[in-house]
Amino acid sequence: MKKIHVEKTTSRGIVAAPVYLYKDIDLTPDQNKIEPEQIEPEKQRFQRSKDKVIEELRELAVENEIFGAHLEIAEDFTLVEGVLGKISERNNAEEAVSKTIGELEAIFSAIDDAYMKERAADICDIGKRYLAKLKGVTLPDLGNIDREVVVVAKDLFPSDTVKLNPEYVRGIITEEGGVTSHVSILANNMRIPILVGVKGIMSELAENKDLYICMDAGAGEIVIDPTEEELNIYQEKKVQYEESVRQIETLREKEPVTKDGKRIRLCVNAGNPEDVKNALPMKIDGVGLFRSELVYMEKDHFPTEEEQFEIYKEAVKLSPEELTIRTLDIGGDKGLPYFKFEEEDNPFLGWRAIRICLEKRDMFKAQIRAILRASAFGNVRIMFPMIVSPEELRQAKEIVEECKKELRQEEKAFDEQIETGMMIETPASVLLAEEFAKEADFFSIGTNDLTQYLLAVDRGNKKIAAMYDFFHPAVLRAVETIIKAGHKEGIMVGMCGEMAGDPKAVPLLLKMGLDEFSVSAANLDYVRKIILEN
């Protein structure tokens, strides 16, 4: 028997079942250069494989909207032209696909925002599909599993995960991947407990794959080859857990009201309309953070006003009461495939977020106009990121007023009373919170960056990961300062960082007077339960 503990998890569930060790096939391309006369035939071969991949993805997208995003990636101009360009450089189609996918993956992997970083897995999934078609091989089908198992793999892609039958696949463990990946989201939606980033799990099982495995996803516990006593304990825990889930889900019909009668707003963090739709069964108040940068990152150009308007309109029509759109938050670690940033010694402290938007005024106005037009279809709020001075906030609000004036002249509808607020995520914004509260309609605390800046701890640096702590006294004091400053001026204060979904943090935040929790869909039911208990 061996026990493994996983630090970070957003999944829950108790599992006891035999191991199913999943090894992907080798799709490594042949790196031999092609002759000049082979370039055009090779391009045609790629185009044929592209047509087959797109046909497959269209069928999958009917069943699951995640594959709608995959379809956009597969058809994306940057990807397709990148492959064709590399074939022109005398790479065969497989090598051209591999190199292009590698470049796009690197862009997304370098992003510090966990949600964006995990989109790299989607890029790799598309590459895997292309390579399989080009090589004429059939990818392993996890849909053929017909017995109760825990699937253990180096990594899974969404196209693997969607085939899993929850009746048989009781749990998933992967060596790689992150808690915000589409694989994690899919598994959580399918009610399959999942633990990701479990280093060394494949080698632990390589010699003997016919082992039983127990896992408690919520506690991050894995037991390999459990004793009979340990197995019985897990079976009992599983029964208790399933009963608790049924009880928690019945709470969805209750409004999130604390014992002293305060109505708390409970919202979801989203990156696209599909995320909003998936959270609706959990009875959300709306979207407390809509990450608009994903709209930009999925294009091969700065999205037009019209392209953005259609996405925001779809999201607000789905959102019950509120859609808070964070304006473009790129720079630092968040790049775009079609826009080159100058190299900076300290990109996290450099040209990013609102600083870019105020300088690239036309691009910013296209987004603001799209958001304003979407506000005609529901309650939309505009939220500015990385504000450090009242002057920045005023400039951003002036651009909003300028766009309103233009839309009135064009007789285009929008909400005249639309609220404009800001993220509080820098030490400067904490110290100036009282001044900001006089000019902002609402605050949303971004604890991910705020913790990083307050503690001078790079949250992506594994060597000092233990120092990155929401519960550090400086972070707690900053959060309390922000809430008091907002309430002094009568504005609502919410939180959209990971701290808002931490079960240990929720009671503290309620005592401090936080008005709105905006969390991942996986945490909504549990945050509601804690609110009702406090």
Per-residue pLDDT of 129-166, as tens digits, reads: 888 888 888 777 787 888 999 999 888 876 677 778 88
pLDDT band at 181 (very low <50, low <70, confident <90, very high): low
Q: Extract the tokens encoding 501.
A: 């979904």
Return the residue matching tokens 């990121």.
385
pLDDT band at 336 (very low <50, low <70, confident <90, very high): low
Whether 267 sits among the annotated catalytic residues: the reply is no
Confidence check: pLDDT of 398 > 90: yes
Q: Extract the tokens encoding 26.
A: 């080798």
Query: Is the CB of residue 290 less than 8 Å from the CB of residue 518?
Result: no
Poorest-pLDDT segment among 149-163, 221-235, 307-321, 336-350? 336-350
494: enclosing H helix or E strand: strand 492-495
Q: What is the pLDDT of residue 104?
A: 83
Average pLDDT of the segment spanning 182-190:
70
What is residue 354's three-state secondary structure? helix
Average pLDDT of the segment spanning 266-270:
93
Average pLDDT of the segment spanning 336-364:
75
Q: How far is residue 14's CA from residue 466's CA, in Å, rounded to a whole number?
A: 27
Q: How far is residue 307's CA from residue 309's CA, in Å, rounded to a whole number?
A: 6
Nearest residue to 483 (alpha-carbon basis) of 530, 515, 453 = 515
Tell me: the pLDDT tens digits for 213-237? Answer: 999 988 899 999 899 999 899 989 9
152: enclosing H helix or E strand: strand 149-153
Confidence check: pLDDT of 306 > 90: yes
Nearest residue to 528 (alpha-carbon basis) of 244, 243, 336, 282 = 282
Average pLDDT of the segment spanning 450-467:
79
pLDDT band at 429 (very low <50, low <70, confident <90, very high): very high
Average pLDDT over the chain reads 86
Query: Is the CB of residue 447 less than 8 Å from the CB of residue 497?
Result: yes
pLDDT band at 311 (very low <50, low <70, confident <90, very high): very high
pLDDT band at 312 (very low <50, low <70, confident <90, very high): very high
Confidence check: pLDDT of 180 > 60: no
The amino acid at 205? L
Q: What is the pLDDT of residue 208?
A: 64
Residue 14 pairs in a beta bridge with 216
Confidence check: pLDDT of 263 > 90: yes
Most confident of 164-178, 341-355, 440-454: 440-454
Confidence check: pLDDT of 105 > 90: no
* Candidate list 214, 267, 357, 496, residue with the active-site label: 496
Query: Is the CB of residue 34 less than 8 Å from the CB of residue 90?
Result: yes
Q: What is the pLDDT of residue 142?
A: 80
Tell me: the pLDDT tens digits for 188-211? Answer: 767 789 898 888 888 888 766 678
Whether 496 sits among the annotated catalytic residues: the reply is yes
* Candidate list 124, 182, 214, 403, residue with the active-site label: 182
Backbone angles phi, psi at 287, to 5 degrees: -115, 115
Q: How far is residue 24's CA from residue 196's CA, in Å, rounded to a whole number?
A: 17
Q: Extract the tokens encoding 146.
A: 């017909």
pLDDT band at 27 (very low <50, low <70, confident <90, very high): confident
Query: Is the CB of residue 421 less than 8 Å from the CB of residue 384?
Result: yes
Could you give all domains of the chain from N- to C-terminal order, each with its CATH number? 2-24+140-249 (3.50.30.10), 36-135 (1.10.274.10), 258-533 (3.20.20.60)
Q: What is the pLDDT of residue 179?
A: 56
pLDDT band at 419 (very low <50, low <70, confident <90, very high): very high
